[in-house]
Structure 1
Amino acid sequence: MAPTPGILYVTMQPRPSLAPARFHDWYNNEHGPARLRLPFVANGFRYRATDLAPRGVAASPADPEWMAVYDVADMAALATEPYARLRGPPAKSARETDVMRDIDVERMLFDLVDADEAAGGQPFARLEDVRNEGQGNAVAAVLLAARPGWESALDRWYRDEHVPAVAGAPGFRRVRRFASSAAGEPAAGNKTLLLHDFAPATSYAALKAATVDALPDAVEAGGARLRTYGLHYTFGPCPRDLGPLGAPSTAPWTSPDGLTRTLAPSPAAAPDAAVSGAIESYVTTPDGVRLPYRLSGAPAPDAPTVLFVNSVLTTYAIWDGFLAAFLAAGRPDRARYRFLRYDARGRTRETGPGGGDVTLATLAADAVALLDALRVRRAAALVGVSLGGATALAAALARPDRVAALVACDTNARAPAANPRLWAERVAVAEGEGAEEEKEDEDEEPVVCESLAEMTVQRWFVPGSFDGGAREREARRVKRMVASNSLAGFKRGVRALYDYDLEAALPTCKVKAGFVVGAGDGALPEKMREMAAKVPGAKLKVVEDAGHLPMVERPAEVAAFVAEVLADAGVGG
């Protein structure tokens, strides 16, 4: 049977007992993203009423202030288990149950009848496309209750009169006609919904004139009702709204599956979360791999976002010290950024379909997938170290439309010929210890363990970092990251370092570029001088008394350099 496309159309009126920040936190960071993660939900939008003041009425259950609409590829999917499980425990959280007690909700399902989506010969710009993030939209929704024998009159009027007339109205973008869906509740009755999209500046009076003022008696007698709305928020598959987290009415929250949590700001919070809190969740890549991420920084949804890519064998916590230095007291201008960090493929055993090897092209595509899922139209910068530096470079070269600046730390533009042998030897060390390691649980996943972890930090850090003080504590923290890395993930993920070559593309780089290298990182300082010389306008920073992870050993120096590159790209503080 052919799929039946349609929409889930919901109006909501929060009661006075529900604080606005708590309402928005639940809606934007829990409810909406959970639905956008379903493969049959194409998009989701929240709208706010624009007709209350012009009509001289207050928001109420009869005239709700909020509307949400989701395009559904096949309405029959709303009766399947993946969707049904979201509407009850355990997937439905206790918070959702509590919040929804304080909201008057009307939920309607409609099948798509037809659509005119080519205003003035131009196709409708899909608002779910991340390239259109930040664009506004006005909606005029006309709900018509059915009357016996009216279908033919309605159809003639809609096709022959309404569509041609509304298509000529100023600001018109598209109109769609829907009918009550068989997937809906029988008590909802048989209704027709006309959804008109207009340019965001279109006034209530203009929307009313274009949509209902000319309704013929045969249609108006059906009980036509007009509501108008302005676009408030576009859902994505990942929570990203930091704005409500700082309000007294919101509280830290963890999803029932433990994979998502929101953190409230506090003086004791990590520096990147001290003002607006943080969100920790995951992105699912197009090939089905889950990548954990942490979003923090400025609460504004359109704040410039810096994306960080960690090295092999580490987590996104590798950037903790860097962010503390970047946001150090005396530099409030740097608080305007958002910071997006994630664990790249190879941290866990989940590396791809069938457990396949990872390539640099895959990792670069993952970086863009993060931007898509978090609805970042163009990152202020990609900042990466080691394999993460090569990833950032590859992504910036391939997609300069998605990146304003690039900072690559301690990396190569071409895989050294010795890499396959050297990394195979390191894998063998980890496998040897893993085979000897006793597991308390036979299902426990093998990890890299102690021997390779110690070898790695001795290679990555300069001798001066083993000072018995703060620098050594950082080195030991990195060692724990290495030791706890999935062995299977390491074996597959490290293959991205075996064979890649970006050298020929360096002169074509179209974004502002900076290269950072620790002076004590073997032959890399000279290699990175050569790289920087090939990239037009690139800057180079050699960090003294630092090895392979200069942003860990000398975070303040690297933070200052990244700020310079951001300023050069026009996205500085």
Structure 2
Amino acid sequence: MMRPGGILFSEMTPEPSWEAEFHDWYDTEHIPVRMAAPGFLGAQRYNRQEGPGFLAVYDMEAPTALQTEEYKRIKGEPSERTARMLRDVSGFTRYTGKLLSWQQQEGISDTEVLESPVLYPVFFTVPPDRQADFNAWYTEDHVPKLLQEPQWLGCRRYEIVDGAPHDYSHIALHHLASAQALESPARAAARNTPWRDRLASESWFRGTYMIFLRRGARFSAQQAGQKLESDDE
């Protein structure tokens, strides 16, 4: 499997009165249509652990998958149902990222990481002149210590190249076997090092943290292609 060089992180919240229709639309139309577009590799949906909100993380070969004529047509010519859903949802977020690093436990596959039960995204807004130090700290100091916890399956980090509603510059997608990993001694140790303390003393070092639980099976572009072939028979 090709490692995703780009992601689209998209969160939205429907009204409770039509949540069931929202999920049917997302699973049977919204994601499958995108999986058939060039450059899309897969997608996974999530529920927020606390409060409303549903997330989809689309994995792409590169952020340029959002610039193809096929994708522009999908965005520019939505079905009536899609237009209605996107008009009426709230809590909309949309961030596009370019791969910086991918680290994971030895002995597990990329698929096991991507299908983790828990996703723990962390956003930062890092000044340009501090990004080299920040990136080195994350990959050389922070993540290796987190991976001392067996339930911390992996971390993939992306530079945000476009997004709203906030001006984040980086996102780390931490894939966990259980949210209990957040209470582990390994995480405590990772948050208590001289390098982190030095960065934490700077005013910009304020992360935004979320916890999401996997919702349903992972979607893949391969499955979308197989369905298209079946429909043509």
Q: Distance in 1 between matches of 2:130 and 2:64?
A: 27
User: Where does residue 167 of structure 1 map in the other structure?
Assistant: 147
Same amino acid, percent of matched pairs: 24
The equivalent position to 1:226 in structure 2, one of 209, 218, 227, is 209
* Equivalent position of 1:93 in the other structure: 79
The structural deviation recorded for 1:207 is 7.4
Counterpart position of 1:12: 12
Give the whole-Å Cα distance in 2 for the aligned partners of 1:147 and 1:40: 30
Q: For residue 223 of structure 1, give the secondary structure of its aligned residue in structure 2.
A: coil
State the Cα distance separating 1:208 from its structure 2 match: 11
How far apart in 2 are the matches of 1:116 and 1:136?
14
Q: 2:60 aligns with which of 55, 72, 78?
A: 72
Q: CA deviation at 1:149?
A: 2.6
Distance (whole Å) between structure 2 residues aligned to residue 193 and residue 185 of structure 1: 11
Amino acid at match of 1:44: A
Q: 2:71 aligns with which of 80, 83, 92?
A: 83
- Structure 1 residues 76, 237: CA separation in 2 closer, same or farther (over 3 Å shift)? closer
Deviations 1:138-165 (A, max 9, x none): 1111100123532133123212210211
Q: Does 1:206 align with 2:183?
A: yes
The 5 Å alignment of 1:135-284 reads 137-181=117-161, 184=162, 189-199=167-177, 201-203=178-180, 205-206=182-183, 210=187, 213-214=191-192, 215-216=196-197, 218-219=199-200, 221-233=204-216, 234-236=218-220, 284=225
| Matches of 1:210 and 1:73, distance apart in 2 | 31
Letter of the 1:98 counterpart: R
Trace 1:426-437 onto structure 2 (pairs within 5 A). none
Q: Does 1:122 align with 2:115?
A: no
Kindly provide the CA deviation profile for residues 212-235 of structure 1, in whole angstroms up to 9, marking residues without a partner as x.
854535257432011111110222
Q: Quick check: which one's strand share is greater?
A: 2
Report the Cα distance in structure 2 between the residues aligned to 1:218 and 1:5, rounded to whole angstroms: 27
Distance 1:97 1:208 in 2: 47
Partner SS, residue 194 of structure 1: strand
Structure 2 CA distance for aligned equivalents of residues 38 and 208 of structure 1: 43
Query: Structure 2: which amino acid aligns with 1:76?
Result: T
Aligned partners of 1:46 and 1:69 also within 8 Å: yes
CA spacing shift, 1:87–1:196, aligned 2, 3 Å:
same
Give the aligned length: 222
TM-score normalized by structure 1? 0.35
CA contact 1:147–1:222 (8 Å) conserved in 2? no
Q: Which has the higher contact order (CA 8 A, sep 6+)?
A: 2
8 Å Cα contact 1:33/1:238 also seen in 2: no
Instruction: Name the residue aligned to 1:501.
Output: none
Instruction: Name the amino acid aligned to 1:71.
Output: D
Amino acid in the other structure paired with 1:13: T
After the TM superposition, list the runs of 4 or more consecutive aligned residues in structure 1 that deviate by more than 4 angstroms: 185-188, 211-215, 236-239
**Structure 2 runs not aligned, ≥5 long:** none
Give matches, 1:148-547, under 5 Å.
148-181=128-161, 184=162, 189-199=167-177, 201-203=178-180, 205-206=182-183, 210=187, 213-214=191-192, 215-216=196-197, 218-219=199-200, 221-233=204-216, 234-236=218-220, 284-285=225-226, 290-292=229-231, 345=233
Larger radius of gyration: 1
| Partner-residue secondary structure (3-state), 2:27 | helix
**Is the alpha carbon distance of 1:185 and 1:165 closer, same or farther for their aligned partners in structure 2, counting shifts above 3 Å?**
closer
Q: Deviations over 1:316-335 (max 9, x none)?
A: xxxxxxxxxxxxxxxxxxxx
State the secondary structure of the residue aligned to 2:33.
helix
Pair 1:208–1:238, CA change in 2 (3 A): farther
Which residue is equivalent to 1:111?
98
Q: 1:32 touches 1:236 (CA, 8 Å); kept in 2?
A: no
Judging changes above 3 Å, is the alpha-carbon distance between structure 1 residues 33 and 73 closer, same or farther for their aligned structure 2 residues? same
